Homo-oligomer: A and B are copies of this chain.
Amino acid sequence: MTMHSAKTNPGRFFEDFYPGLSLPHATPRTVTQGDVALTTAFYGARHALFASTPFAKACGLAAAPVDPLLVFHIVFGKSVPDISLNAIANLGYAEGRFLAPVAVGDTLTATSDVLGVKETSNGKSGVVYVRTTGRNQRGEAVLAYARWVLVRKRDPASPAPTDSAPNLAACVAASDLVLPKGLNLTGYDFGLGGSIAAFEDYSVGERIDHVDGMVVEEAEAQMATRLYQNTAKVHFNQFERASDPTGRRLVYGGVVISTARALSFNGLENAGLWLGVNGGRHVNPFFAGATLFAWSEVLDAQRLPGRTDVGALRLRLVATKDRPCTDFPDKDAQGFYPPEIVLDLDYWAAVPSRG
């Protein structure tokens, strides 16, 4: 007799989430030099702080931290099997903060706590709000962020839960940003950094066309997504995607973010140290083979309490596909995005100050 196993993870449905539910995720993950090299190979970012041990030490750190977005992608990847396996869409991010630097040799684990749930009006699905926290091997939080996801109901007939959608901040307050312990940018080497531009040189309202364009190949997108142990099937299962109207695998949104961020080096050379993510939306799908372009806008510039060596810039990063950003393509007055815009992200970065 053949037994069919029920061991395969079917993923949670909307009914399985409730406020207060805490979901520790599987697969602790030691970050290695290999992850760092692959990050460079996937995106080509050139921020000196993550590329050079002596440079990082000259900035007061014990070791070169790994790119904050690598930490984000690994932590996010862990949450997929428990949160978004039956997700219809990833709706947004908020209240993201990088709380401690991660170095090669550190081991990351992650837990998601359900903040609230809200059934959609058609009764077939609902929005689940979670806060995901990544921790190192000492249990210290290194990253926390909220996200909300549209999840299928197992049974459309099941009753709607009480609406418990949380109020999430539109922007992380500059005073809540956390600088890496020991960071001291007093003697920051702008030459090695790649630009003379300091915190003082950026003005609120300033827009920067990052000029360069970069293709994301299917193999690159898949390898990056696997490196993050992100299992969402839309990125890998072409057989199934063939019956989607697009007929294509989707590039993981994190790959789009990291590619756009690497392009943003050209004009934001010294702003690699992300401190927070205020919000972000993948406003159109991105498919492999297209050329990604990006532009940035300075939304805010804040001194940090007690610091003269470093300030925080609030930046908006917009990425387009097959569309140069010379004229800063943007949403229209009604808030609608043209199809060539794929990303609209709002974040905080630390930038060295001349004091």
Contacts and interface: CB of A to CB of B under 8 A. Distances in A.
B291 A226 contact: no
Interface residues of A, number: 90
A88 interface: no
Given A32-B34, A36-B34, A8 B207 contact: no
A209 interface: yes
Interface in A259-277: 266-269
Interface string A196-232: 0100010101111111111101111011111101010
A237 B291 contact: yes
A125 to B, nearest CB: 21
A66 B35 CA distance: 15
Given A27-B52, A37-B34, A291 B238 contact: yes
Interface string A314-331: 000000001110001000
Contacts of A223: 41-42, 220
Contact of A30 (B51, B193, B237): B51
Nearest to A10: B211
Given A37-B37, A51-B30, A213-B236, A208 B42 contact: no
Nearest to A191: B24
Contacts of A53: 30, 105, 107
A222 B222 contact: no
Contact of A208 (B1, B5, B33, B214): B5
Nearest to A209: B8
Contact of A46 (B27, B104, B194): B27
A40 interface: yes
Contact of A33 (B34, B109, B203): B34
Given A2-B207, A52-B29, A107-B54, A212 B197 contact: no
A89 B211 CA distance: 20
A118 interface: no
A134 B192 CA distance: 14
A8 B194 contact: no
Number of this chain's copies in the complex: 3
A43 interface: yes
A30 B4 contact: no
A239 B322 contact: yes
Interface in A326-352: 328
Contacts of A150: none
Contacts of A81: 194
A331 to B, nearest CB: 15
Contacts of A4: 206-207, 209
Nearest to A29: B51
Nearest to A217: B219
A240 interface: yes
A312 B268 CA distance: 46
A5 B269 CA distance: 13
Interface of A: 1-5, 7-9, 24, 26-30, 32-38, 40-44, 46-48, 51-55, 64, 81, 104-105, 107, 109, 137, 191-195, 197, 201, 203, 205-215, 217-220, 222-227, 229, 231, 233, 236-240, 249, 266-269, 289, 291, 293, 322-324, 328
7 contacts: A3-B203, A4-B207, A9-B195, A24-B192, A26-B191, A212-B231, A215-B222
